[in-house]
Structure 1
Amino acid sequence: MSGLSLVLLTVLMVASGQMTQTLYVPAMGDMAAELQVASDSLPLVMAFYLIPYGLFQFIYGPLSDRFGRRPVLLAGLSIYMLGSALILAWPVFPMLLLGSFIQGAGTAAAGSLCRSLMRDKFEGTDLVRYNGYVSMGIMLAPLLAPLIGGYLNLYFGWQSMYWFLLGLGLAITLVMVFFFRETLPPARRHAQPMLPAYQYVLHDAGFRRQLGMLIATFAGVILYEAVFSVLVGKQSNLSSAEISLLFIMPLPLYFAGAMLASWKAASWSLARLQWIATTGLLLGAAMVLLSAFEPALSVAGLVLGGSVYFAGAGLLFPVATSKAVAPFPQHSGTAGALLGGSSNLGGGLFLLVQGGLPEMNQLVLGGLLLAFAGLVAWFLMPSREALPEHGV
């Protein structure tokens, strides 16, 4: 497979997972009413999806290092479709949570492998560049998902969104069966037990720093996505379709950040790119926080601040991912699983914790985003690099 073909297939294989995470966000209020639960309970759906999405990556990654990427991916897609089917068969809130859990357990395969496939084929600045392309492509799914979800919910009800996901999962599975070729040849596989493999990867201090930055940044992104619809709904009288339009506004900025990583990987130092990304995270968080003090500007500040935060995240993710997996050509599945699994598991657990807070408002959101951005800056302080520096 050519590099471009691999990027396109990688983007496609994670599309179902990205769609599942954000498709229903504009419909949260309507779903809560139909399922007869409090609107604050709907972020639990995302938590029940993200926790297995993170946990099962720890299993899929080492398995793919041992048996190859293709069989692991196809098994995960099959599990994902089972979760979608269960939600459609029993459309009640407990089954929505269980089905989301199974969906997350299935798409964890694609979530883990999307970080490993690029390392199978590329290294150095090419690895950063192609990871940037993947990050840009991956953003297309959450860019479209809220628009599709808002439309489906408005005209066909919330269950239509899960019919859409089931069909999407089936289509992606068929494409992978016929077009995806193994990227990890038998000669590069290893049979090292799972625990020693993880110990080997975690022993690298540079990997641990990149992992910390990714977890902190992702926690901010996922918190923003989980509470955005609820906060805007409380502060305005917008419909689910209108909220979906506001929800996707930060996503093109994420796309721009990932594009900058691809364009400048060969001419700017990786440290410079990461400091620019961190500045975006800090500035965006501050905008969300400060606008909370002025009710007339709260929604605008929420959207604009989120856009700047997402721009920083879009730049940081491909650079930090590339720096983390670069030293591990034979353990890229394990390294990718640690990156994706820890980020998503941490995000899901955090959503469970924040669900127990007395109140989630824009002031709290801004404060938490600022704390996450500060953690990224703290992890960035050490100067050792996992990849050689290039450019200025």
Structure 2
Amino acid sequence: MQKFTLLLLSLVLLAPLGIDLYLPTLPQIAEGLATPVSLIQITIPLFLLVMGLGQLVTGPLVDNYGRKPIALIGLALYIIGSIIAATATSWPLFLIARLVQGCAVCCTAVVAFSGVRDRLSGDDAARAYGFLNGALNIVPALAPLLGGLLASAFDWRAPFWFLCGYAALITVLVIFWLPETRPANTLRVKGLPLAQYAAILRQPRFLAFAFANAGALGMVLTYVSLAPHVLMTEGGLSSLQFSFAFGANGFWIMLVSVFVNKAIRKAGRPFCLAMGFITMLLGALLLMAGMYLLPASIQTHWTLYMLPVAVSVAGLAFTVGPATSYALEPYQQQAGVASALQGFIQMAGGAAGSLVIVTLPLAEKMSLAWMMLLGAALALIAWRCSKTIQGTLTALK
């Protein structure tokens, strides 16, 4: 089972690598393609948008045709997109490459989370989801550094050739070692399963846990969006210092995720959801205390931003694994469709919430504090929902 989980992780990593690896090279890409940096920057939200919307399409494909074939199609698209990006000579070609990669990760993400649901349930599934989501945080910690080193040694195209090579390697591993896990009794659908999506969306339990994930993700996206201005412009950190602070937070979430996996086994999923609520609430209170209770002369110090963030992002680790497992447990025969819908709500809801908060006429720290409070409120709702179903489902043996 450990080999199986690691294979699923290799598929999940395609998405964050596709975002974080080329972040340090945005100015060089703009210069190389003779286009404004702003046009290169918009490929990031477009990538996420395609990934979120595309899961609604790939979910039924995974249920109809199996996990492994769709994973291989996704990997092939990823390789094609990476090659187009690495050889692009204009912004339209680069945009096409990013859209192709976005379509690719729709397939691999749904396959990975459907695979967990196929093989595991209950606390075992929660630990697997927590492992996948927790391990993702090592990518923002290391990928920008790796991308910068590759670009320095070669040029801005090198990170995309790296992505091509990585996807090719994972393709070989999937062909030989990834089993087909689709249950024989999986419900097949024709076209876009709007009726199935509507039926799932009518379930308060599903919505409670899916939106808890969206709140936690939205909180992290808000932190990431505001961090460069707060830490470098206001806090005075250099680019290198910012990289270390940003990367350390990724390692911190990994450590918390290890603890959460043990906590799920010993204390249960409802306890972890309660801790998600507490940590996000505490992070918001610490952030606001630094703004209103401390002297103005030290309010711009970077630690007054990163310490509350460290407390609050622990809520992501506590929330995502249990919430995802609870959301998907009732849908063994529709794992692909349910995983796709859950992923769409998590990504689209988190991104939308973050965008709305950031665009409000609020100070950066206050915007983040409000997003932390929203994430805490959604985690509280999920915890209350979990108390009504605790013990009704157990792990598969």
Q: TM-score if structure 1 supplies the norm length?
A: 0.86
Amino acid at match of 1:370: L
User: Structure 1 regions of 5+ residues with no counterpart?
Assistant: none
User: Structure 2 regions of 5+ residues with no counterpart?
Assistant: none
- CA 315–93 in structure 1, closer or farther in 2 if over 3 Å, else same: farther
Amino acid at match of 1:173: T
Which deviates more, 137-146 or 267-276? 137-146
Quote the residue 1:138 is aligned against.
136
Alignment equivalent of 1:332, drawn from 335, 339, 355: 335
Quote the residue 1:189 is aligned against.
186
Work out whether residues 20 and 144 of structure 2, in 8 Å CA contact, stay in contact via their aligned partners in 1.
Answer: yes
What is the DSSP-based 3-state SS (H/G/I as helix, E as strand, rest coil) of the residue aligned with 2:111?
A: helix
Aligned pairs for 1:1-392 within 5 A: 3-26=1-24, 37=36, 44-90=42-88, 92-93=90-91, 95-185=93-183, 187-193=184-190, 194-235=193-234, 238=237, 240-291=239-290, 294=296, 296=298, 297-349=300-352, 361-382=364-385, 385-386=388-389, 388=391
Q: Percent identity?
A: 25
C-alpha distance in 2, partners of 1:295/1:78? 54
Work out whether residues 206 and 385 of structure 1, in 8 Å CA contact, stay in contact via their aligned partners in 2.
Answer: no
- CA 15–354 in structure 1, closer or farther in 2 if over 3 Å, else same: same
C-alpha distance in 1, partners of 2:297/2:369? 14
C-alpha distance in 2, partners of 1:348/1:91? 30
C-alpha distance in 2, partners of 1:130/1:75? 24
- CA 330–317 in structure 1, closer or farther in 2 if over 3 Å, else same: same
What is the DSSP-based 3-state SS (H/G/I as helix, E as strand, rest coil) of the residue aligned with 1:249?
A: helix
Q: Deviations over 1:227-270 (max 9, x none)?
A: 42354332356554443222111122322332233212233132
What is the DSSP-based 3-state SS (H/G/I as helix, E as strand, rest coil) of the residue aligned with 2:149?
A: helix
What is the DSSP-based 3-state SS (H/G/I as helix, E as strand, rest coil) of the residue aligned with 1:330?
A: helix
Work out whether residues 50 and 102 of structure 2, in 8 Å CA contact, stay in contact via their aligned partners in 1.
Answer: yes
Q: Deviations over 1:144-190 (max 9, x none)?
A: 212212333455443332222222222222221222111114x2322
Amino acid at match of 1:147: L
- CA 356–158 in structure 1, closer or farther in 2 if over 3 Å, else same: farther
Deviation at 1:346, TM superposition (A): 2.8
Which deviates more, 199-208 or 356-365? 356-365
Q: TM-score if structure 2 supplies the norm length?
A: 0.85
C-alpha distance in 2, partners of 1:95/1:299? 39
C-alpha distance in 2, partners of 1:54/1:121? 24
What is the DSSP-based 3-state SS (H/G/I as helix, E as strand, rest coil) of the residue aligned with 1:114?
A: helix
C-alpha distance in 2, partners of 1:349/1:92? 30
C-alpha distance in 2, partners of 1:22/1:285? 26
Deviation at 1:322, TM superposition (A): 0.7
Work out whether residues 13 and 172 of structure 1, in 8 Å CA contact, stay in contact via their aligned partners in 2.
Answer: yes
Deviation at 1:88, TM superposition (A): 2.3
C-alpha distance in 2, partners of 1:141/1:57? 22
Deviation at 1:92, TM superposition (A): 4.9
Amino acid at match of 1:21: I
Deviation at 1:6, TM superposition (A): 1.0
C-alpha distance in 1, partners of 2:270/2:382? 12
Q: Deviations over 1:334-385 (max 9, x none)?
A: 1111111221223444566578667873443333333333343345444654
Q: Deviations over 1:113-134 (max 9, x none)?
A: 2221111111222222332333
Work out whether residues 26 and 37 of structure 2, in 8 Å CA contact, stay in contact via their aligned partners in 1.
Answer: no
Backbone CA RMSD of aligned residues: 3.1
Work out whether residues 328 and 335 of structure 1, in 8 Å CA contact, stay in contact via their aligned partners in 2.
Answer: yes
C-alpha distance in 1, partners of 2:161/2:37? 24
